[in-house]
Structure 1
Amino acid sequence: MTGQYAVAARFELVDGRAEEFDALAGWRIGQAAANEPGLVGYAVHRVDGEPLVRVFYEIYRDEAAFREHRATAQTAEFGRRAAGLVQGPPRIEFLNVLYSANGLAVAADPAR
């Protein structure tokens, strides 16, 4: 296990507001990359066949780094600004990274 902590958040967008949400998501990623040293990776995805869905995938050094992310002013601002662009709260799944590649930490021994 890597000890990393990941989150997947699924947002259902209001029809006609996807472009605004996408711009806001780009702003949020930029803020996180510049200000959160515990952030390992952060991506926003469109879902094939579901034009009003976005999925955020975030990886943090550990759970403490995720808690720091949640406590930032930028996270609060994102929530306020996204309120009129989404149909409701995102569906959030908390994930524990077992293996990863491409520059992310990889467990040397899967039994650990």
Structure 2
Amino acid sequence: MTEGFGLVVRFTLRDQDTATAFDHLCAETLEGIKVQEPGTLTYVTHIPVDEPLTRVFYELYADRAAFEAHEAQPHTKRFLAEREQYLAGVEVTFLNAIAGKTAA
């Protein structure tokens, strides 16, 4: 398994209106990630079944340096600055890969 560094972030949103606005902010941020972050291997947002006000992000980076590069990007800084207005809570779990299978 490669060095990989990842995290899972669970966001609880205030209400459906803020959820819609948060999803829009996420979509804009994802465009920057796709274009400007070769070290970001996976960045997926999820809505858990039966939890319409929850979003779960799964992020996988080539290494810790790639994560730090992600955090330094203007689109990420904007996301971090603007997200608070939509949130009722956030929980972050950092992950170190030890085994697994990845796509080629």
TM-score by length of 1: 0.84
Length, aligned pairs only: 102
* Larger Rg over CA atoms: 1
Q: Could you say which residue in structure 2 is the equivalent of 1:38?
A: 39
Moved over 6 A (4+): none
Give the alignment of 1:92-107 within 5 angstroms: 92-97=92-97, 98-103=99-104
TM-score by length of 2: 0.89
Relative to total residues, which structure has the larger helix share, 1 or 2? Answer: 2
- Quick one: percent identity of the two aligned structures? 35
- The whole-number CA distance in structure 1 between the counterparts of 2:5 and 2:31 is 20
Q: What does the per-residue CA deviation read over 1:57-102, in whole Å, with 9 as the maximum and x for residues that have no partner?
A: 11111111001111222111001221211114x2111112221233
| Equivalent AA in structure 1 for residue 38 of structure 2 | P
SS of equivalent residue, structure 2 residue 52: strand
Q: Could you say which residue in structure 2 is the equivalent of 1:106?
A: none
Q: Could you say which residue in structure 2 is the equivalent of 1:65?
A: 66
- The whole-number CA distance in structure 2 between the counterparts of 1:15 and 1:94 is 27
Over aligned residues, Cα RMSD in angstroms?
A: 1.2
In the alignment, structure 2 segments of 5+ residues that lack a partner are none
